[in-house]
Structure 1
Amino acid sequence: MGELRVHSVLVTGANRGIGLGLVQHFLGMPTPPKVVFAGCREPKGQRAQELQNLASKHPNLVILPLDVSNPASIKAAAATVKEHLGGSGLTLLINSAGMLKITPPEDVTLEDMMQVYTTNTIGPMLMGQVFLPLLKKAAQGSPGSALSCSKAAIINISSTGGCISSPEVFDMIPIVSYHCSKAALNMLTKCQSLGYQEHSVLCVVLHPGWVQTDMGTPVTVDTSVRGMLKVISFLSEKDTGTFLNWEGKVVPW
């Protein structure tokens, strides 16, 4: 694995599944980040119990109330992160929060599409915009000009469900709102990579595999997260704007 030295990281959707797995692995690194921010909707709720347990053992873990579908919540989280970081920036933003609403194609409503898009696509867009000043500050404070996740980066967690080139995925999970939102997230990441490159912020979208959460089955969370962190450690300027899977292979979409 390449050397991944992350001063600070923020993971959304951190109370379960991939998000929680990422937080656990960052905390368990030989040289862990100085601060790990774990965002979730209800930090004191039952669904965040594992995060609470981790926080009692790791003083560098900060649990944030964060609803990525709520612009005010995002701004409040950014203010808290800025306060904790003092004069330094945020090295790595991982947009892991996502939702899947099971509705047959013929029954999808405006409300269904708006709800899923707001979480899966608009949320990561707003997160990138609001946290850009802190990402820029991290990039400015990092030596060298080469892009990397040790400098400043946005990682969006997507899915092959957003691949127009893979219609067979629809046969597995015929959920229009989810597929459309993830395809849009893939395009958003490409746009972010083009728009934020001048600020030295690397932007990549990752497919974690069909993970053993309430959204999938074959790959364990631990295997997926280990794979993604290995990929993240090797990302460079040539990778910005690309869609890769947890094994580092390019995903056509």
Structure 2
Amino acid sequence: MGELHVRSVLVTGANRGIGLGFVRHLLALPNPPEWLFATCRDPKGQRAQELQQLASKHPNLVIVPLEVTDPASIKAAAASVGERLKGSGLNLLINNAAALKANSLDTETLKDMSQVYTTNTIAPLLLGQAFLPLLKKAAQGNPGSGMSCSKAAIINISSTAGSIKDMLLWESEQCLSYRCSKAALNMLTRCQSRGYREHGILCMSFHPGWVQTDMGKKVGDMPPLTVDASVGGMLKVLSNLSEKDSGSFLDWEGNVVPW
């Protein structure tokens, strides 16, 4: 498979888990991004130490403060990134930040449902809106035909838990708000793919697998997939995406996941 070549990337929730994995893998590419924006709530806090260490070694890595549930924070992040890019546009937006509450159908609450939905579904919508001008600039700056992640793309990290058809692991882990929010995120991806097609922006959802992260370990046994295996697989898939893939739901190996 090909190798991802992209000038600028932004990853949300980049201080741990899959987000941090994306940062590490992107920095390690033979041709890493000229600009790699890694967002987290508190760039100077304890949870961002690994990001801080990476940024001290890689001048192309910029840590951006971002609270994805706060519209003002999203707008400030978009403005900050725009200043750095100086008119060149953002090629790849990876909406990775997510929340999980292991509530059942009987124990789900308004507070938890609202919090999870805001983080997992509404935030990717608002981030797409805020970064649309920069994504459009990137697409216009690559006038070639078709779509690709090197041109302009929004990648939403979803989950097979949001598959209405499969309903995997329901008997062991209901995680109601998480399932509902990811199913809604998949619909958002479909809407973005239709709405942003005219601008040349590719949009798709990823199931990263059941990964050995803090979130992944909340639901039962030890997850079978390492962060490196998941992220490495997704980057291979990203490098080969084209117009036909916009609006799709794929896993880390490029297989189609049922809606």
Task: Give the TM-score band, short-chain normalised.
Answer: over 0.9
What is the CA-CA distance between 1:103 and the residue it aligns to?
Answer: 2.0
What is the CA-CA distance between 1:172 and the residue it aligns to?
Answer: 3.2
Q: TM-score, normalised by structure 2?
A: 0.96
CA contact (8 A) 1:204 1:242 kept: yes
Range with bigger deviation, 194-203 or 101-110: 101-110
- CA deviation vs aligned residue, 1:100-135 (integer Å, no higher than 9, x gap): 012232121111111000000000000001100000
Q: TM-score, normalised by structure 1?
A: 0.98
Q: 2:82 maps to which residue?
A: 82
Range with bigger deviation, 116-125 or 96-105: 96-105
CA contact (8 A) 1:78 1:130 kept: yes
Q: Structure 1 counterpart of 2:126, which letter?
A: L
Q: 1:34 maps to which residue?
A: 34
- CA deviation vs aligned residue, 1:147-206 (integer Å, no higher than 9, x gap): 000100000000000001112332232111000000000110000000000000000100
CA contact (8 A) 1:160 1:169 kept: no
Q: 1:250 maps to which residue?
A: 256
Q: 1:64 maps to which residue?
A: 64
What is the CA-CA distance between 1:214 and the residue it aligns to?
Answer: 1.6
Partner Cα separation in structure 1 for residue 114 and residue 171 of structure 2: 23
- CA deviation vs aligned residue, 1:200-225 (integer Å, no higher than 9, x gap): 00001000000000222110000000
Partner Cα separation in structure 1 for residue 146 and residue 232 of structure 2: 24
Q: 1:241 maps to which residue?
A: 247
What is the CA-CA distance between 1:58 and the residue it aligns to?
Answer: 0.2
CA contact (8 A) 1:108 1:177 kept: yes
Q: 1:114 maps to which residue?
A: 114
CA contact (8 A) 1:139 1:151 kept: yes
Partner Cα separation in structure 1 for residue 105 and residue 152 of structure 2: 39
> Aligned runs of 1:218-233 on 2, under 5 Å?
218-233=224-239
Contiguous gaps of at least 5 residues in structure 2 = 217-222
CA contact (8 A) 1:161 1:178 kept: yes
Q: Structure 1 counterpart of 2:245, which letter?
A: D
> Aligned runs of 1:91-102 on 2, under 5 Å?
91-102=91-102
Q: Using the aligned pairs only, state the percent identity.
A: 70
Q: 1:190 maps to which residue?
A: 190
Partner Cα separation in structure 1 for residue 238 and residue 175 of structure 2: 29
User: 2:170 aligns to what SS in structure 1?
Assistant: helix
CA contact (8 A) 2:160 2:168 kept: no
CA contact (8 A) 2:161 2:168 kept: no
For these two proteins, the number of residue pairs brought into alignment is 253
Q: 1:14 maps to which residue?
A: 14
Partner Cα separation in structure 1 for residue 249 and residue 169 of structure 2: 17
Partner Cα separation in structure 2 for residue 91 and residue 171 of structure 1: 40
Partner Cα separation in structure 2 for residue 192 and residue 169 of structure 1: 29
User: 2:94 aligns to what SS in structure 1?
Assistant: strand
Contiguous gaps of at least 5 residues in structure 1 = none
Q: 2:219 maps to which residue?
A: none
User: 1:128 aligns to what SS in structure 2?
Assistant: helix
Moved over 4 A (4+): none
What is the CA-CA distance between 1:47 and the residue it aligns to?
Answer: 0.5
- CA deviation vs aligned residue, 1:18-37 (integer Å, no higher than 9, x gap): 00000011111101110000
Range with bigger deviation, 92-101 or 171-180: 171-180
RMSD of aligned Cα (Å): 0.8
What is the CA-CA distance between 1:137 and the residue it aligns to?
Answer: 0.1
Q: 2:220 maps to which residue?
A: none
